[in-house]
Structure 1
Amino acid sequence: MKNTLKALKFSTAFLLILSSFIACDKDFSIIESQVLGKGNTNFTIDSLNIPITAYNKKLNSLKINNLISANDLNSALLGVFDDPEFGRTTASIIAQITPSSFDPNFGVNPVIDSVILTIPYFSRPTGLDGDDVTYTIEDSLYGDPSNEVTLTIYRNNYFLRSLNPNSTSSAQNYFSYANGDINTTDNFALIENNVINFDNHKSDILKDTTFTPIPDVVKTTVGEGDEAVTTDSEPAFRAHLYKDFWASTIIDQEGTSVLSNPSNFNDYFRGLYFKAGTVDDKGNMVLLNLASSNANIVMYYTSGEDDTRIQSTYSFSFSGNILNTFINDYITLENGDSDLGDETIYLKGTEGSMGVVDLFSNDDDALEDFKRDFRATDESGEYITDDTTGEFVLKKLINEAQLIIYEDESLTYSGDEDYHKYDRIYAYDIKNNTPIIDYFIDLTENESEPYNSFFIHLGQRDSDQKKYKIRLTEHLNNILLRDSMNTKIGLTLSTNVNITTQAEILESEDDVTAIPETAILTPRGTILHGSNENVVPSKKRMELQVFFTKPENN
């Protein structure tokens, strides 16, 4: 099926590209252009720079439950990350768990041997060490890997409902509250107009520890002696949880209604609260794969008479609601100047900031002037449309359009010149909360290496010039040919440009109603030069470059 979908995608993209060439030929024919003429051509290639307005959008109240980072997998950040330009973000997790079965029979005289929590990191194999596969987690680890993080795992007593009571057909979303207005120690979320403080709903401590994310293979041995079987699995966070809690909370509840069905269990055991902190005021942050089949809590126990005891397991998965809460203790971010544009643009995840680019906002007539410059008109000045397609006929054809973005050269990089090397800027259509049309016709998707994916449209950071290029060719053609009104582009950082899922903003009061979910799961940030012509030098100013072809008689 995956190969079929890829083939279909290629065919669709090929047809789109082919149709654009046909459209080009058609447009030139309409304006009576000929291939031969003076100097073997009667058209020239030219370019222009279109001033745009780029400004900051402060991000508040973002959807933080069940976020997706790759292959439709629920993901969450855990730990403490210090960005050299922005400051500190602390990420914690609230997660429901689901038993592997209901109405369990734990046997006679059950005794818990151990309770092991496992949550894989996002990792990729790098080679072999003898017969063992080696892995790296560098793509999902932020900060110094040698630093430790404190982690306290609590029982959460706040009920996470799945359905919105105000709309029986809608899922209940939870939203971020990370700006520290109340305090910078507790973890909060919003639900409609209510603020939830999860620190007011924590109870039993299931584990109090420190950890450092490492890329070691996890080896699990089941059985003893000659019957022991060892299996290897991907690198993961693992912890032995306190046994007494599970004995009283699960084993002793055998035969009661709380273990009889999912609804009763979710009301009885409302989940876990993973609260992160620093060690010696340092830390790091890692992206966890809670949707992995290896993400679980396994309770190992024995039961039976003394001479016939049997080893058994009872497990829990993370298949319910998963919330990623943030505490941001960094520079003040504000909404920008949508009229004049801003001097600098701040891109920062985990309820931070994004950039908004208005392609035609410099004056009220900018968009209309652009259309009149490129569209063909009749004797009365009205735009000409094609009788067959209904599209507008063009007198100039856009060959390439690029949004040129310069990084602020004053970034410190925390002393590491490669700090921003793999940054990707993701551009999306703010009006429809979808990728731009250029994204869909870019054939360079790379599922295994997101950094090398969609690089024709989204480009890659130019390390020498500290510059990005975002291709908007078909987006502009869509405006000219089909009168699209999608003139505002959103800019965010992204850890994985293959993922286009959007996260709602609670009760947004402007054009930006959602942002890419991967932007929320990007703890790092960067600073760009903006578009304000009064303060940004022309050579560093964000602008739209358009290369076009026109007949010589125009």
Structure 2
Amino acid sequence: MRNNSFFKIIILILGVVFFTSCDKDFNTIGDNLIGNEHFGLESKSFNVLSYNQKIGPVQSNNLPINALGVYEDPVFGTTEASFVTQVVLASPNPVIGANPEIESVILYVPYLVKSTTTDATTGDNTYVLDSIYGPETGKIKLSIYENGYFMRDLDPLTGFLERQKFYTNQASEFEGLKKPVLLNNDTSETQNTAFFFDKTEFKETTPATTTGGEPTITRTPPGMRLALNKAHFKTAIIDAVTSGSGKLATNDVFKNHFRGLYFKVEKSGTNPGSMALMDFSKGTITIKYKEDSSTTPVERVERSIVLNLTGNTVNLLSNTNKPDYDTAVNNPNTTAGDEKLYLKGGEGAMAVLDLFDKKDDIGYNDKGEIVVGANNIPDELDDLRNPANKKKLLINEANLVFHVDGDVMGTNKLPIRMYLYDFNNRRPILDYVSDGTTGGLVYGGLLNATKVSDKTYKFRITNHIRNLINNKDSTNVKLGIVVSNDIANTNSTMNNLRSPLSNFSQVPQVSLTNPRGVIFHGGKSSVPAEKRLKLEIYYTKPN
């Protein structure tokens, strides 16, 4: 009987773990998998020097997803995100018959969707959109133009050996070369001056083709669906084909003839704005037209040309920062550290961490004797590296816990997770690389909002600290922390700064597409101990 009860309990626990691992709300999963109880362990806290680092204009071309819209953050300020993309012909070198006349030109880019429910009676779908920042019905002024700036593939400054880079602050260059005709010129203001990210599916009914037949209903998931200027596309596409110019013969030629679309975003009057993350590579422009048939008698036949929104892209960002945020990131205290750490995605800010207190050129030899000239080993780390201690200590866990400054952030929505990495070498730390859980749940970096008054993000850097202590050749590198959308499916891609510094030239790509920000308490001694950023190490002493 006891064995049966025992096995039932085990099955129940495994079931809870399995279903929890499928949950997309990551706020407390990491702590559920590895508890915060450390029975029988000793612990010690170590100081962390931490300070702000402004990111500035950064490479933002060919991102997997891009931001579009206006995000107004009461703590950090306002971010406007515009976008430019090349377009290509789904079928190059189209053939167009006699007397073509455009019926419609429709731009469609699907939104990211979090969930869908279907009405069993009507078949209609209700969608919950993903990655929308700001009010659900927040409006923006959206103006779409034909791009006039040629986005080359390769950089001539590198002898055409490297990919051409484009940056967040190049809006003026695209603005200056855009074609003057507004393409989304529909009379409905929801298509231009008061555009919003509508979660309603598009439903189109086609009448029945036979008597007594049922009409056909076509449902399209919610997305940016705009009617574009027919006259402009007649000149740029239809006339370019019928004239025999060869400008649509191949996509390489076409991308120079029609250089893509420029999605220009501005605030819509006094309306609160909103911003969405979008995968523009799934977007299309469908040109529907009629032409004369080649049969007798001549009939009008429906045809279409499809353009895909693929090719080179760039996300263009513009920030209007709040004074406190601006002052903090422009005046970091790299010697004593900062009391508050301001982290913001996009062309924003991050924090740099230096673990352990340091002292002048003193260390230990292999016998545990203090010597001078030991490569400026950090003081606290030096004690841990002491051979006499290493034989006695077993590092069970090492954590960095960041406390949100609740007094300033208030009810402001926070990023769901952060990303901690090797700042010196611009690569993931060992704990991220070795984490075998789905979504990096042991490594962490997820928002824990269990305590409303003390929201935190925790990273487990156990392997990083073990390597640092046990491998005397390892370097105590600085760590960087940035806002992230999700690190579960990311690689270690780094994007270049437009104006690199001697010690800071790249930033993790995962930080570029989340407009949100957060303020942490730093590691400075003036910060209350219970909120201060510290390195916590839990260890056991073998008998």
TM-score (norm 2): 0.79
**Are 2:90 and 1:100 aligned?**
yes
Give the alignment partner of residue 205 of structure 1, picking from 158, 182, 187: 182
Corresponding letter in the other structure for 1:373? D
- Paired with 2:330 and 2:100, the residues of 1 have a C-alpha distance of 58
- Paired with 1:504 and 1:176, the residues of 2 have a C-alpha distance of 11
Shift of the alpha carbon at 1:246? Answer: 0.4
**What secondary structure is seen at the aligned counterpart in 1 of 2:448?**
coil
- Equivalent residues, number: 461
Give the alignment partner of residue 291 of structure 2, picking from 299, 303, 308: 303
**Are 2:303 and 1:312 aligned?**
yes
- Structure 1 alignment gaps of length 5 or more: 1-43, 69-74, 178-187, 190-195, 384-392, 447-452
**Are 2:56 and 1:46 aligned?**
no
**What secondary structure is seen at the aligned counterpart in 1 of 2:232?**
helix
Task: Please list the CA deviations of residues 430-471 of structure 1 after superposition, one character each: whole Å capped at 9, or x if unmatched.
Answer: 23322222123333324xxxxxx5355324323412222111
Corresponding position of 1:349: 345
Rate the CA distance shift 1:364–1:249 in 2: closer, same or farther, 3 A. farther
Task: Please list the CA deviations of residues 210-266 of structure 1 after superposition, one character each: whole Å capped at 9, or x if unmatched.
Answer: 321122223466898469865434321110001000001110011212112222212
Shift of the alpha carbon at 1:339? Answer: 1.3
Rate the CA distance shift 1:223–1:496 in 2: closer, same or farther, 3 A. farther
- Paired with 1:274 and 1:403, the residues of 2 have a C-alpha distance of 41
Rate the CA distance shift 1:50–1:313 in 2: closer, same or farther, 3 A. same
Corresponding position of 2:400: 403
**What secondary structure is seen at the aligned counterpart in 1 of 2:197?**
coil
Corresponding position of 1:545: 536
- Paired with 1:367 and 1:234, the residues of 2 have a C-alpha distance of 58
Task: Please list the CA deviations of residues 409-431 of structure 1 after superposition, one character each: whole Å capped at 9, or x if unmatched.
Answer: 22244xxx4723x6312111223
Does the aligned pair in 1 maintain the 2:137–2:198 contact within 8 Å? no
Corresponding position of 1:278: 267
**Are 2:436 and 1:430 aligned?**
no
Does the aligned pair in 2 maintain the 1:429–1:486 contact within 8 Å? no
- Paired with 2:485 and 2:446, the residues of 1 have a C-alpha distance of 14
Corresponding position of 2:14: none
- Paired with 2:84 and 2:166, the residues of 1 have a C-alpha distance of 11
Rate the CA distance shift 1:375–1:536 in 2: closer, same or farther, 3 A. closer
Corresponding letter in the other structure for 2:387? T
Corresponding letter in the other structure for 2:137? S
Give the alignment partner of residue 143 of structure 1, picking from 131, 134, 138: 134
- Paired with 2:131 and 2:44, the residues of 1 have a C-alpha distance of 40
Corresponding position of 2:384: 374
Rate the CA distance shift 1:315–1:343 in 2: closer, same or farther, 3 A. same
**What secondary structure is seen at the aligned counterpart in 1 of 2:458?**
strand
Corresponding position of 2:315: 324
- Paired with 1:313 and 1:146, the residues of 2 have a C-alpha distance of 33
**What secondary structure is seen at the aligned counterpart in 1 of 2:161?**
coil
- Paired with 1:467 and 1:239, the residues of 2 have a C-alpha distance of 42
Superposed counterparts of 1:72-221, under 5 Å: 75-130=65-120, 131-137=123-129, 139-167=130-158, 168-177=160-169, 188=170, 196-203=172-179, 204-208=181-185, 209=192, 210-219=194-203
**What secondary structure is seen at the aligned counterpart in 1 of 2:182?**
strand
Does the aligned pair in 2 maintain the 1:360–1:367 contact within 8 Å? no
Corresponding position of 2:16: none
- Paired with 1:455 and 1:132, the residues of 2 have a C-alpha distance of 40
Corresponding position of 1:193: none
Corresponding position of 1:264: 253
**What secondary structure is seen at the aligned counterpart in 2 of 1:373?**
helix
Corresponding letter in the other structure for 1:419? K
Does the aligned pair in 2 maintain the 1:430–1:486 contact within 8 Å? no
- Structure 2 alignment gaps of length 5 or more: 1-39, 186-191, 362-375
Shift of the alpha carbon at 1:199? Answer: 1.6
Shift of the alpha carbon at 1:91? Answer: 0.7
Superposed counterparts of 1:372-521, under 5 Å: 372-375=382-385, 377=387, 394-413=391-410, 417=411, 419-420=413-414, 423-446=416-439, 454=441, 456-464=443-451, 465-482=454-471, 483-485=473-475, 487-498=477-488, 499-500=490-491, 501-521=493-513
Q: Which one is further off, 537-546 or 87-96?
A: 537-546
- Paired with 1:355 and 1:364, the residues of 2 have a C-alpha distance of 25
Corresponding letter in the other structure for 1:273? Y
Does the aligned pair in 2 maintain the 1:259–1:265 contact within 8 Å? yes
Rate the CA distance shift 1:61–1:490 in 2: closer, same or farther, 3 A. same
Does the aligned pair in 2 maintain the 1:49–1:546 contact within 8 Å? yes
Give the alignment partner of residue 530 of structure 1, picking from 515, 519, 522: 522
Percent identity of equivalent pairs: 33
Shift of the alpha carbon at 1:361? Answer: 5.3
Corresponding letter in the other structure for 2:432? Y
Rate the CA distance shift 1:120–1:425 in 2: closer, same or farther, 3 A. same
**What secondary structure is seen at the aligned counterpart in 2 of 1:458?**
strand
Rate the CA distance shift 1:507–1:394 in 2: closer, same or farther, 3 A. farther
Task: Please list the CA deviations of residues 365-409 of structure 1 after superposition, one character each: whole Å capped at 9, or x if unmatched.
Answer: 68444454334638xxxx9xxxxxxxxx75422111111211112
Corresponding letter in the other structure for 1:91? A
- Paired with 1:159 and 1:133, the residues of 2 have a C-alpha distance of 40
Task: Please list the CA deviations of residues 28-62 of structure 1 after superposition, one character each: whole Å capped at 9, or x if unmatched.
Answer: xxxxxxxxxxxxxxxx7321111011100101121
Shift of the alpha carbon at 1:65? Answer: 0.7
**Are 2:226 and 1:239 aligned?**
yes
Does the aligned pair in 2 maintain the 1:213–1:286 contact within 8 Å? yes
Corresponding letter in the other structure for 1:432? N
Corresponding letter in the other structure for 2:407? S
- Paired with 2:321 and 2:156, the residues of 1 have a C-alpha distance of 35
Q: Which one is further off, 199-208 or 295-304?
A: 199-208
* Backbone CA RMSD of aligned residues: 2.5
Corresponding letter in the other structure for 2:239? D
- Paired with 1:337 and 1:493, the residues of 2 have a C-alpha distance of 21
Does the aligned pair in 1 maintain the 2:419–2:483 contact within 8 Å? yes
Corresponding position of 1:10: none
Shift of the alpha carbon at 1:299? Answer: 0.5
Does the aligned pair in 2 maintain the 1:125–1:133 contact within 8 Å? no
Task: Please list the CA deviations of residues 481-533 of structure 1 after superposition, one character each: whole Å capped at 9, or x if unmatched.
Answer: 33332521111111112224322223421433322223111111111111222
Rate the CA distance shift 1:89–1:459 in 2: closer, same or farther, 3 A. closer
- Paired with 1:279 and 1:491, the residues of 2 have a C-alpha distance of 34
Corresponding letter in the other structure for 2:408? L
Task: Please list the CA deviations of residues 312-335 of structure 1 after superposition, one character each: whole Å capped at 9, or x if unmatched.
Answer: 110111111111101101122315
- Paired with 2:137 and 2:251, the residues of 1 have a C-alpha distance of 40
Corresponding position of 1:55: 51
